[in-house]
């Protein structure tokens, strides 16, 4: 089944403890992206990647890192999480194709930083 898989689904952590949220897709998509969703603010793009070893900042990249060493994986790294990074995170992927392809989203990771 074609899908984007995020892990974990739920995570509670303490301030400053490094964590990684994994994202994997099985559709050979070039484009992958991370979003965070907060009440009243909609979905905001954190980082995106157009292919292996090609990443760029979205609208809210501060406090996050990403890497794209393989086409299928795009982990989101929080080196020193803070409470303002408590949010619902979504990974998404698509073919590039000049914008003519739709996104497939993962099921989300709910992160709580205390």
Query: How many other CB atoms are there within 10 angstroms of residue 30's CB atom?
Result: 17
Which of 16/72 has CB closer to other proteins?
A: 72
64 touches 76 (CB < 8 A): yes
Binding flag, residue 50, other proteins (CB under 8 A): yes
Q: Which of 67, 71, 103, 112 binds other proteins (CB under 8 A)?
A: 103
Strand boundaries in the chain, DSSP class E: 4-7, 10-13, 19-25, 31-38, 42-51, 54-57, 65-66, 76-78, 87-94, 104-105, 109-113
CA distance linking residue 53 with residue 98, whole number of Å: 20
* 95 is an interface residue for other proteins by CB under 8 A: no
Q: Which is nearer to other proteins, 9 or 17 (CB)?
A: 9
Using CB under 8 A, pick the residue from 34, 64, 74, 90 that binds other proteins. 90
Which residues make up the interface to other proteins (CB under 8 A)?
Answer: 31, 33, 35, 40-45, 48, 50, 56, 58-59, 90, 92, 96, 98-100, 102-108
């Amino acid at each position: 089944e074609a899908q984007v898989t995020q892990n974990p689904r739920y995570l509670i952590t303490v301030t400053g403890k490094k964590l990684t949220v994994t994202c994997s897709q099985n559709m050979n998509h070039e484009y992958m992206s991370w979003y965070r969703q907060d009440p009243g603010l909609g979905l905001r793009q954190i980082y995106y990647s157009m292919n292996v070893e090609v990443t760029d900042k979205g609208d809210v990249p501060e406090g996050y890192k990403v890497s794209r060493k393989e086409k299928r994986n795009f982990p989101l790294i929080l080196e020193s999480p803070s409470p303002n990074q408590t949010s619902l995170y979504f990974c998404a992927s698509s073919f590039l194709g000049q914008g003519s392809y739709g996104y497939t989203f993962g099921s989300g990771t709910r992160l709580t930083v205390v």
